[in-house]
Structure 1
Amino acid sequence: MSTDRQAEPAAAEEAEEAEARTPAEADPETEPAPEAATPDTPAAPEAEPEAPDTVAEAEARADAGAGADAEAGADAEPDADAEGNAGADAEAEAEAGADAEAEAEAGAGAEAEAEAGAGGNAGADAKAGADTGAGAGTGAGAEAGAEARTDVEADAGARGDAGAEAEAEAGADVEAGADAESGAEAGAGTGADAGAGAAVDGVVPAGLSEAQAELAAQRVERERIARRKAEREAPVDAGAKLSGKAADLLAAVRAVESGAKPPAATFDEAPAAPRRPAPAPPQPRTPAPRPVAVAPGTVEEVRVVLARGGAPEALAAETAAALGEDAAEALAENPWRLLSVASVRPTQADGFARALLGAGAGPGDERRTGALVGWLLLQAALKGHTALEAPVLRSALAQYAVPDPAGALETAIAEGAVLVFQEPLGAPGAQYEEGEEEPVRILVGLEGSAMAEESLADGLARLANAFDALADWDKAVGAAPNPSAAELIRAVAGHGLVTHTGGEAARAEAAALLAAAGELGLRTCLAAHAPGGPDSVTVAGLLSGTEGPGRDADGQFALDLLVVLDAPQLDVETAAALVESVPDGARLVLSGDPGVLGSAGAGRVFADVLAARACPQVVSRTPDPGPVGELVSGVGIGELNQVEAPGKEVVIVPVRDAAEAVHRTVQLVAESVPRAFGIPADEVQVITPGHGGSAGTRALNAALKERLNPGPGRFGGFDPGDRVVHVPSPGRAVPARVVSADAQGLHLERAGARTVVPKEQVEARVRHGWAVTAHQAVGARWPAVVVVLPGDAAEALSRDWVYTAFGRAERHLSVVHGVDQALPRAVAEVLPKPRTTRLTGLLKALVASAREQPE
């Protein structure tokens, strides 16, 4: 038996209902703030070029011309809105006046390995399925009947409108109101950062919001990282004249990459692998400096400068927060520093600079080129990169009319604005014959990412090398519930760092490990990306000190074993802070599914650790159960086949346009799934590729609110009882429900606890949550999930997006399917886009160095 296909209700009734719930109705959500415009720049500027990801793409762009906007041969990034760039003209016609929104749900970072789909080898046929509440129809007859439908008229403008919002390249040009998945959430800087750094070695002062506490704790950990890094030689001293190897690297950026010299002509030998320093003696706890709030006078001074240059004065607070107390003076001296504000684009900064500097604001101005280098690297970080190859960065600079891209890059390096690295591409310790050169690549990155990645590598090596094998685990191994759990317990018994891969069923193996360790008297902690019940904490809560075992006198976690679930969601800065806080002698297990979407922030930590093979890797052989598990396992290895679903566990609902997709989704959530499975509508989650379009989250949430919790939206577009998603910090999306609102802000209930979102942050941090994107859903599961795939979403699909979305369902999965053959094609062919990172190379070097050390 294959999955059933839905029998249709009466045509006239359905047409009427579909028309009544068209997404053209008013959306109660407040649109993002308009992007910054200048006298020389329209409010909705044309698409700008963006930094390509690879040397090949850079060459393709050069061939296509400096103004080329799309990367050569690159499909649209999964789950990433770039409405302000790709298709801006089309959107202007379809949604006049609507602001573009940039979302970076780039699903890259986890390497596709056969083990990701261990235990499963089948998928689901895109044509199979049935509506859970309707009579069953099977075989070709039901399919023909579905294709013969004529009761709902096609929405003439739906595809054109939403097509303009197809998710092109995540993080291309960060617009005002960019979503949390991009790591550039609008408003996250001014409110949240106000509390950053207010912690004292991990102790969070009272009175801070959750977002402030989290950011404060992370700031403290970054300062701890900086102190450790100060004991080592920095790759390049920022602001100092280059010398030694750094000067050689700078001189070689052109020579090596242009082919003028082979690598060996400049680098006589590969640099020695860095050695892990001995642990520093415990330091007395010193108070971390408390943040100095930006004075109102500073904001007013910045407002004056912005007005003089014709930029929106609404950017004053964010600009002052980014540039500090001397923001007005700095901005007047270098107007391109306006690019420090996430919502500002180069064309807008150019217009602002021309208004202030006049004819002196040329494209080759060193102030402009230096700001562009930093901006391009920040945009790359939004797409997951921690560094860019030098030729890629030079090519991107050329697209912004920089007359001497190589010279501009060298100047930025010499001034310490960015760092340059030589990374060997050969295997550590590989021997080369005489005349044979070791392959290298030249990378350029920002100091923050470089410091975090190097600290993370050091911390992982420290844990891998500093532990005491425990001899009491034999009994625990024998009592393990399955062979994979036994293998995991055995690996942790003998090693300080272990990776564990598997699907949802593999989480039980981590639980078995924790139970065994607890019986041995070890202090344990289970941390996950999203709230997961009383037995686990969130990574964010653990770092901020609001959850978990707390910290000891040295500021490190008071535990012996830390298991981190959802490890693919770790970005380098979060991972570095986490690992730095694990004490010597403790054990760390990184557990997760390599097939899901990668982290919202920069890096591909889990995939890089796996690729480095720096520690034991335990691959779960426990398959996910049931038809949904079989389907997801098949998707993980690139297959989308039929699955047997006798209980309608998997249903395909074919639709012809966005209006029908919205109507069918509301039907499924409000009627079909609750009637067929007894699952309340509150436990059904809708997942769709993006926020925009005629069947994006905004349109779906508007229709679902009208059906499930109608109201005037008297609290900033929200009513008591509304399902929402709260974004306390970039990259985190927490399901919640609206309770009330008052002068303090919007009161939410989530995971049994109450929280208040200040009213000035509601627009940027809260959106309705009946329908979410896959990146917002990652790490969580629901009894039933409805995945909506409208026709205009075809280019946004990829294997990891489909794998993530389908895998959120526990008992039932409905797929509202309007993309025809794009779904199986995406599963088979569209892999995650690669990310440029350094962690794998750093870890390999540290491992090789440790092996060379005498016993």
Structure 2
Amino acid sequence: MTALPRGESPGPSATDDDSVVADEPATAPAPAEQAEAAHDGADEATADGPGEEPDGPAPQEEAAAEATADGGTGGDATAAAAPTEAEAELAAQRELRERIEKRKAEKEGPIAAGTKLSGPAADLLAAVRAVESGEKPGTAFFDSPAPPPARRSVPAPAPVRTPAPEPVHVSRGASPETVAAVAAVLAAGGAPEALAAPAAAVLGAQADEALREDPWQLLSLPGVGPEQADTFARALLDTGCGPDDERRTAALVGWLLERAALQGHTALDAEQVRAALAARAVTDPGAAVQHAIAEGVVLVFQDGPEDEDTDGEPGEESEGTDAGDEGAEPTAEREPVQVLLGLDRYALAEESLADGIARLVNACEKDADWADAAAAAPSPSATELIRTAAAHGLVAHTGGEAARAEPAALIAAAAGLGLRALGATHSLDGRQRLAGAVGDASAAVTLSGLLSGTEGPGRDEEGALALDLLVVLDAPQLDVETGAMLVESLSDGTRLVLSGDPGVLASAGAGRVFADVLAARACPQVVSRTPDPGPIGELVSGIGIGELNQVEAPGKEVVIVPVRDAGEAVHRTVQLVADSVPRAIGVPSSDTQVITVGHGGSAGTRALNEALKQRLNPGPGRFGGFDPGDRVAHVPAPGRTVPGVVVSADAEGLHLDCAGSPVVVPQERVAASVRHAWALSAHQAAGMRWPAAVVVLPGDAAQGLSRPWVYTAFGRGERHLSVVHGVDQALPRAVAQSPAQDRTTRLRTLLEASDG
């Protein structure tokens, strides 16, 4: 690996290091600070809850945190924009979800394969279903008074998959009277009135009454943690509450599962949930979990070998004994059974996705003669992909950046046969690259635009996408809810190809769809034999197999810049972007992307963006913290990052240029959905590439490194990669460690069961 000699380092930076180093608070915000925390959403990480990921920031936490604007609010944009096409998009998504629910209602049993229950476990599940359906009240199963009807933890609204570059602007419809009533309750409990509108949107017209009767419903709001909810509850209920209050424990269970979803999990082991409850001063975690199940806050799933003699209750199993029977004899030979808890929205999505995949696999029919098209393919890997797609309804294709030419060849071949073929990507940048590879701009769309109907061929009379072949690139970025919507939108006989690099970071949303499909061997897999070219391709390929190799870079394609601390890392990064890379490599600052481990810290995205703005586009931030020419990231929905440049602002909102397309972000959404973007996290940058990338690794980033993170970050530069290196041996150690499955999901089990 070629290092940049100290003598060739760029000159002094125009910025003062001390002015851009921002300390990040390590503790949860006090109740008075909840309004600010609500903007950060999932940025508040739990250190003791289940699903903790010590090796790096949680992907959806980053997706939520990226929505926090670096500047203040206000500015010249003063009038709210009228509702956009988002309302029509939401209606289409609701229709899709109704179809999913209808399909699930037609099934004979409430839980699909892989969830075998018997004895008291089956009885408890029946009780849960009875409560959910309204056939029996919750008090039929517990002696304690039943909480009010609003007790059930309100699931977070389904992520709005909006097409880039259209902004999302959806009126929640909460009346001023409702917001005022909620504000009064919040004030009585010492919570900031800024939470009134979000609470009214989530909890409905009777939100004030719901909060008075059950203050812990405050946990359903973004940025609110258990400490704040407990403080709020004590202020309202005084001595009428305690740590074992069933309202509190049920809310905590739902909160733990929601937090786990932000880290990518669709379910959690029941033992993890019980341990986390115990850490929150719950004296009987097992009873708390069972109460949450009966209240419908979570669902219970039991994965493992079927055993009719198993009569333990869900979540109470232990190795070698049946915890449901006192004095039961040890059963050392029995394989342990994993009991999982999950939110219904993700359970529904995974089961619907598994059903849809099975339907596509079994519905493929021959529609054309693909032999000539396969023979004319530009590479052996493309030939193999075309032949495999011709014979199967679902195909998984894996490969690096160079391998993207193979699905492009498949799309072109299918179009040449008269089939309706399309490619969908995760980002605008990916769409442009795919369109160039296919040679047809109409053959590439973003996945969000395709599902919302603003891009692509539209839908037929039955609501299915009018396609014969759909290739989804950047498949690792596909979360389980989007995956379910996708397969439900495809008619029988439509071919689906999932293509991507399995070495990159997983989706910002919950689930690991591509990895689970590969692990379950649910369909034929085509592995590309096309290597990524050049020194960067050689370096990244080595990282993919756990080797951090030195590579020859005669044209300074790869440069290492050692630093001693975070302050020097910020200083060197600004030098590289503003001076060294443009001068030595010929890539302008506007085409150079900085990538770092997280948003906080002395060299996180916030500190780097402040320093880079001071050097590259200084200004007062008169448009809600932004100036014309600022590089920004527009986040129309969690997990969706659309790079753009600020053009202007007026009464209509903040005007952006996103890859040549104009976007107007209403003033009230600027703080929540726009941030500076000279520096991004690796999760934000996934699915996109730039001519040059500067990866910043300060000393405090060592714990956030993993092989997938390094693989993703180092692969974002096409012509040049600079690594600002201050983590010593932590980098090779992170690359050498074999990546483990860091997400708990049920999709693989469901796919394997349906295949069997």
Q: If the length of structure 1 is used for normalisation, what is the TM-score?
A: 0.73
Residue aligning to 2:95:
220
C-alpha distance in 1, partners of 2:249/2:388? 50
2:708 match: secondary structure: helix
Residue aligning to 2:59:
105
Residue aligning to 2:232:
352
* Deviations 1:24-57, CA, capped at 9 Å, x for gaps: 2499x9999x94606999999999653234xxxx
User: Which amino acid counterpart does residue 683 of structure 2 have in structure 1?
Assistant: H
* Deviations 1:314-363, CA, capped at 9 Å, x for gaps: 10111111111111111111111111102111111111111111111111
Please say if residues 596 and 679 of structure 2, whose CA atoms lie closer than 8 Å, have aligned partners that are also in contact.
yes
Alignment of 1:363-382 (within 5 A): 363-382=243-262
Please say if residues 218 and 574 of structure 1, whose CA atoms lie closer than 8 Å, have aligned partners that are also in contact.
no
Distance 1:181 1:318, change over 3 A: closer
Query: What is the RMSD computed on CA atoms of the aligned residues?
Result: 3.3
Residue 490 in structure 1 maps to residue 490 in structure 2: no
Residue aligning to 1:110:
none
Please say if residues 683 and 782 of structure 1, whose CA atoms lie closer than 8 Å, have aligned partners that are also in contact.
yes
1:37 to 28, 31, 36: 31
Residue aligning to 2:412:
515
Alignment of 1:496-645 (within 5 A): 496-531=393-428, 532-533=431-432, 534=441, 535-645=443-553
1:495 Cα deviation after fit = 0.3
Distance 1:52 1:312, change over 3 A: same
Distance 1:554 1:694, change over 3 A: same
Residue aligning to 2:63:
180
Alignment of 1:185-224 (within 5 A): 208-209=83-84, 215-224=90-99
Residue aligning to 1:230:
105
Residue aligning to 2:577:
669
Residue aligning to 2:373:
476
Residue aligning to 1:847:
755
Residue aligning to 1:729:
637
Please say if residues 594 and 695 of structure 2, whose CA atoms lie closer than 8 Å, have aligned partners that are also in contact.
yes
Distance 1:402 1:727, change over 3 A: same
Residue aligning to 1:58:
none
C-alpha distance in 2, partners of 1:468/1:182? 45
C-alpha distance in 1, partners of 2:243/2:627? 50
Please say if residues 24 and 600 of structure 2, whose CA atoms lie closer than 8 Å, have aligned partners that are also in contact.
no
Distance 1:39 1:218, change over 3 A: closer
1:249 Cα deviation after fit = 6.0
Please say if residues 426 and 474 of structure 2, whose CA atoms lie closer than 8 Å, have aligned partners that are also in contact.
yes
C-alpha distance in 2, partners of 1:318/1:711? 32
1:831 Cα deviation after fit = 2.6
1:785 Cα deviation after fit = 0.6
Alignment of 1:251-290 (within 5 A): none
C-alpha distance in 2, partners of 1:318/1:379? 18
Residue aligning to 2:193:
313
2:207 to 309, 327, 335: 327
Please say if residues 726 and 733 of structure 1, whose CA atoms lie closer than 8 Å, have aligned partners that are also in contact.
yes
2:360 match: secondary structure: helix
Distance 1:226 1:763, change over 3 A: same
Q: Identify which range, 457-466 or 827-836, moves more after superposition.
A: 827-836
User: Which amino acid counterpart does residue 106 of structure 2 have in structure 1?
Assistant: E
Residue 390 in structure 1 maps to residue 298 in structure 2: no
- Consecutive unaligned residues in structure 1, runs of 5 or more: 54-70, 81-103, 107-170, 172-178, 188-205, 254-289, 428-433, 849-855
User: Which amino acid counterpart does residue 105 of structure 1 have in structure 2?
Assistant: P
Q: Identify which range, 376-385 or 212-221, moves more after superposition.
A: 212-221
Residue aligning to 2:19:
24
Please say if residues 35 and 194 of structure 2, whose CA atoms lie closer than 8 Å, have aligned partners that are also in contact.
no
1:330 match: secondary structure: helix
Residue aligning to 1:261:
none
2:637 match: secondary structure: coil
User: Which amino acid counterpart does residue 215 of structure 2 have in structure 1?
Assistant: P
1:651 match: secondary structure: strand
Please say if residues 49 and 399 of structure 1, whose CA atoms lie closer than 8 Å, have aligned partners that are also in contact.
no
Residue aligning to 1:818:
726
User: Which amino acid counterpart does residue 222 of structure 1 have in structure 2?
Assistant: R
1:621 Cα deviation after fit = 0.9
User: Which amino acid counterpart does residue 441 of structure 1 have in structure 2?
Assistant: Q
* Deviations 1:742-775, CA, capped at 9 Å, x for gaps: 1221100102111111111111211111111111
Please say if residues 36 and 344 of structure 1, whose CA atoms lie closer than 8 Å, have aligned partners that are also in contact.
no
1:304 to 184, 191, 199: 184
User: Which amino acid counterpart does residue 258 of structure 2 have in structure 1?
Assistant: L
Please say if residues 183 and 600 of structure 1, whose CA atoms lie closer than 8 Å, have aligned partners that are also in contact.
no
User: Which amino acid counterpart does residue 225 of structure 1 have in structure 2?
Assistant: I
1:515 Cα deviation after fit = 0.6
Q: Identify which range, 359-368 or 703-712, moves more after superposition.
A: 703-712
1:660 Cα deviation after fit = 2.0
Please say if residues 214 and 540 of structure 1, whose CA atoms lie closer than 8 Å, have aligned partners that are also in contact.
no
Please say if residues 747 and 755 of structure 1, whose CA atoms lie closer than 8 Å, have aligned partners that are also in contact.
yes
Residue aligning to 1:418:
298
Residue aligning to 2:55:
77
Please say if residues 539 and 548 of structure 2, whose CA atoms lie closer than 8 Å, have aligned partners that are also in contact.
yes
* Deviations 1:138-167, CA, capped at 9 Å, x for gaps: xxxxxxxxxxxxxxxxxxxxxxxxxxxxxx
- Consecutive unaligned residues in structure 2, runs of 5 or more: 71-80, 129-169, 308-330, 433-440
1:185 Cα deviation after fit = 7.5
User: Which amino acid counterpart does residue 490 of structure 2 have in structure 1?
Assistant: V
Distance 1:218 1:234, change over 3 A: farther
Distance 1:467 1:718, change over 3 A: same
1:51 to 49, 52, 57: 49
1:216 Cα deviation after fit = 4.8
C-alpha distance in 1, partners of 2:595/2:7? 23
Residue 838 in structure 1 maps to residue 746 in structure 2: yes
Q: If the length of structure 2 is used for normalisation, what is the TM-score?
A: 0.82
Residue aligning to 1:700:
608
Distance 1:42 1:303, change over 3 A: closer
Residue aligning to 2:438:
none
Please say if residues 39 and 351 of structure 1, whose CA atoms lie closer than 8 Å, have aligned partners that are also in contact.
no
Residue aligning to 1:3:
2
